[in-house]
A and B are shown apart, each in its own frame.
Chain A
Amino acid sequence: MTETEALTLFKCLADKSRLQILKSLAQEDMYVERLAERLGLTPPTISFHLKKLSEVGAVRSYKTQYYTMYALQDEVFRTTILELLMERSDEADLQAQRDEAYRQKVLKTFFEYGKLRSIPTQKKKERIVLEEIVRAFEPGRRYTEREVNIILADYHDDFCTLRRDMIGEKLMQREQQVYWRTASDDLP
């Protein structure tokens, strides 16, 4: 279900009469007059609501000898809200653009002529800054702690904090005083 379809469905369901119709149909398939009698609404009003519910795929109809019967479209209601939230957003590209603009803004604020003015206190901003610094390390190459310190010192005097936070953010890994840049595939 796309984001637009989900929005249309929720808007349609946000109506007590339509919810009552669905509740009735959850019990058994019904025809317009039966629903009207049961819910105390006029048949035209029921038809109007059923049409709206059909449009969003919440109900389906089928003909019997005398009546057009309406039934719940089960598949729509089996989708969990979590599944809808996990769907790729229609605005994903736009969100990515906004994220990139924010990233550039942070970099512009904290870097001056390739040097770090200060280490950001906000974790999200520090992460952006560290992601930029980690590019100075070649993927796959092993570095001694001294080499790491020299590279980091080019960015900021407090290279110890940078080194520690690189490890903390899992942008670099360390084993027995040897450091290497985390493969982008291994990043969280």
Chain B
Amino acid sequence: MHDEFLKWCDARIADCSARQRILSEDCRGDEARFMQIRSNVYGIFRSVYTALDGDMSQVLDRLASIPAAWEHSLAQAESHGEAEKAHIECIKLETADAIQHYATNLEAKNHD
């Protein structure tokens, strides 16, 4: 298991929580909620990683399959003009993309 991946996820979650708190205190409720959503996405893939006993190749598979549903939701929201839902799906996809990027690099580094 890559402790590095878990540490990275924990750091991202902590960062999101800190930003969320600042945004809430600054009366930016929606942006604080979006930060919570980011944090949740990191949490999801942290759990996936743990459940798969740190098998990074399987995690990378999930990083492709789980966001596919979000892409579908995004398309649905856009076609129905639901801006808020579309924005939330974008945030989830953006976060998943960042995780995938990190995980891919980590996997490549470990194979070198």
A-B CB contacts (within 8 Å), total count = 30
8 Å CB contacts to A: which residues of B38-84? 83-84
A48 lies within 8 A of B30 (CB): yes
A44 x B27 contact (CB < 8 A)? no
Contact of B28 with A44 in the complex, beta carbons under 8 Å: no
- A52 at interface by CB-CB < 8 Å: yes
Query: Contacts of A124 on B, CB cut-off 8 Å?
Result: none
Q: Does B97 contact A (CB under 8 A)?
A: no
Q: Which of A14, A41, A48, A49 contacts B27 (CB 8 A)?
A: A14
Cα–Cα distance between A9 and B28 once the two chains are bound (Å)? 16
Question: Which residue in B29, B34, B83, B90 is a CB contact (below 8 Å) of A51?
Answer: B83
Interface of A is mostly: helix
Cβ contacts under 8 Å, A16 to chain B: 26-28
A44 to B34, CA, bound (A): 12
- Whether B87 and A48, one on each chain, are in contact in the complex, defined by CB atoms closer than 8 angstroms, is yes
- Bound complex: CA A49 to CA B90 (Å): 15
Over the window 13-24 of chain A, the binary record of Cβ atoms lying under 8 Å from chain B Cβ atoms (1 yes, 0 no) is 011110000000
Of A14, A47, A48, A51, which is in contact with the most chain B CB atoms at under 10 Å from its CB? A48
Q: Does B15 contact A (CB under 8 A)?
A: no
Residues of chain A within 8 A (CB-CB) of B84 are 48, 51-52
The 6 closest A-B pairs by CB, nearest first: A51-B83, A48-B87, A16-B27, A16-B28, A17-B28, A16-B26
Question: Which B residues fall within an 8 A CB radius of A?
Answer: 26-31, 34, 83-84, 87, 90
Can you report 15 A-B residue pairs in the complex whose CB atoms are below 8 A from each other? A15-B29, A17-B28, A17-B31, A44-B87, A45-B31, A47-B83, A47-B87, A48-B83, A48-B87, A49-B30, A51-B83, A51-B84, A52-B30, A52-B83, A52-B84
Binding site for B on A (CB under 8 A): 14-17, 41, 44-45, 47-49, 51-52
